[in-house]
A and B are shown apart, each in its own frame.
Chain A
Amino acid sequence: METQKKRIRREYAPLTVHTGLVCTTPLSPVTQVYNSNNGEYEPDRSLTPTVVHPDVVAHAKDGSWKTPQANAYLANMVWKVNGVDITTLNAWQGYFTIETVGATRGDITITKNLTPGSYVELSFDAQLADDRLGVNIPIHCDPIILSTVDKSGDDYSMSLGDDQIIQYDPFKDKLHLYEYKVAHGLISASTANREAATDENSYERTIPVTVYKGKDILPTSAYSVRLFQITGITSGVAQLTELTTATDEVIAITNSGVTIDLRLIAKRDYLIRAYVSNELVAERQFSVNRIYPKFTVRPTNGTSINPHDVERYDVAMVDCDGNTVECPESIIKIIWKTDSASLTNVEHGEGGDIVFQLSKTGIGDTYLNDWLDVYCEGDQKEVHSVATDENNDELTDENGETFIFN
């Protein structure tokens, strides 16, 4: 007699997906310059196009998703200009192509030169086909701004000494690591060590500003600099909110540059403006993205369990971009788990290392059940937030420094 059939499926962890838009042609950037003296765009996008890549990185805690760069699995891709599907806009017909294959699937190549002084908001929506679970995950990339700055030969202009799209990778931030070690008593604070840890990957990022009149560099005393966040685009006009050093992520604004704390930013667009006698003379836009690189986490304690052991210690080893990550718990939320013959998916705690009670794991005493699988699940921590109390007042230390956390 045939029994009833029971279908049992593999169980997969859901995907964690991080997205962002990246201009992959930094020398044909999202901000163009229009030279009204000769009527030329620099560069002319019809000659050297601008390419924007939707960076879609997917990760499953259980390691069952094998392709972190997930562009090849995108479906129902829609690029939007100011919130409208680009394929429906007459003004854009023939001025873009969208890549459909491979790791660059979803990339948009733009050959349109924008009207000088105009701004458009470019965003990307799609679905990520997760064939493990049979679901489509909605993908939304926050917009970036395309703009064209009008400049004639004798006019004022501005140059930023940094990338137009600044990408913050916490795994490369030695300053963050230095401060984590100091805060946890692993090393002593030292000005020299702090300076040594501060480089182009640090969260404390200074964007140098230079203002020109014609080809001559203006002295910093000849103008003033103000920083704005672009909060949206309405009818081709950027909606701006002025930022000051009272804003959480702003560390300093001087006429020679602005310094911001990248830890507090997931994705934002900014505009730096220069004023002479309170009149706007030049501006430049830049964006900040937090990126989520691929990493692997594994337990390292391979020693056997002795019959009289009551607890077990383990340390996580994290690799990213071919390097072992120091103090990984400062960047990654690491959850320790065990499976045994009688209990699976038992959670023991969070951190870069762990001590757990063997009695909690369900490990047995016979050859059939005296084994234990130890593993950890890792997720990159999100952007930092400022700590506030119930009255929304910021929490500070004894020196008045604001606490942040993630």
Chain B
Amino acid sequence: MRYIIADKAKAVAHGFTLHGHRINGNLILLNEKEVECSHALSSAPTLEKKCELIVGTIYTHQGIINELEQGGWNNG
């Protein structure tokens, strides 16, 4: 499964809640299924296009773990 670091304000504007998600400043961490299944992002045909709408970057499992090791993320 892949993970997405997205802009917090853009994600909230597209229906994601902060509650239950890991946050780092103006960033939010989502999983692939959350983005794929988001009704508000359904106009975009692919995960990559959906991520563009929330200014998100896609990471592999290991990639996101490396990213989180940089610190600054709360525990959700």
Contacts and interface: CB of A to CB of B under 8 A. Distances in A.
Nearest to B1: A42
Interface residues of B, number: 18
Interface string B16-51: 000111100000011101100100000000000000
Contacts, number: 55
Contacts of B33: 27, 43
Contacts of A43: 1, 31, 33
Interface in A86-108: 97, 99, 104, 107
Contact of B20 (A28, A38, A40, A42): A28
A50 B75 CA distance: 11
A111 B76 contact: yes
A376 B21 CA distance: 44
Nearest to A33: B1
A104 B76 CA distance: 14
Contact of B3 (A48, A51, A99): A48
B4 to A, nearest CB: 10
Contacts of B64: 47
B68 interface: yes
Interface residues of A, number: 20
A28 B76 CA distance: 12
Nearest to A95: B75
A51 B20 contact: yes
A36 to B, nearest CB: 14
A259 interface: no
B68 A47 contact: yes
B21 to A, nearest CB: 7
A44 B61 contact: yes
A47 B20 contact: no
A31 B76 CA distance: 19
Given A27-B37, A48-B22, A111 B3 contact: no
27 contacts: A24-B19, A27-B31, A27-B33, A28-B20, A28-B34, A38-B61, A42-B1, A43-B33, A44-B31, A47-B3, A47-B22, A47-B68, A48-B3, A48-B20, A48-B21, A48-B29, A48-B31, A48-B34, A49-B22, A49-B75, A49-B76, A51-B19, A51-B20, A97-B75, A99-B19, A109-B20, A111-B76
Interface of A: 24-25, 27-28, 38, 40, 42-44, 47-51, 97, 99, 104, 107, 109, 111
Given A48-B20, A48-B34, 7 more contacts: A28-B31, A38-B61, A40-B1, A47-B29, A49-B75, A50-B20, A51-B20
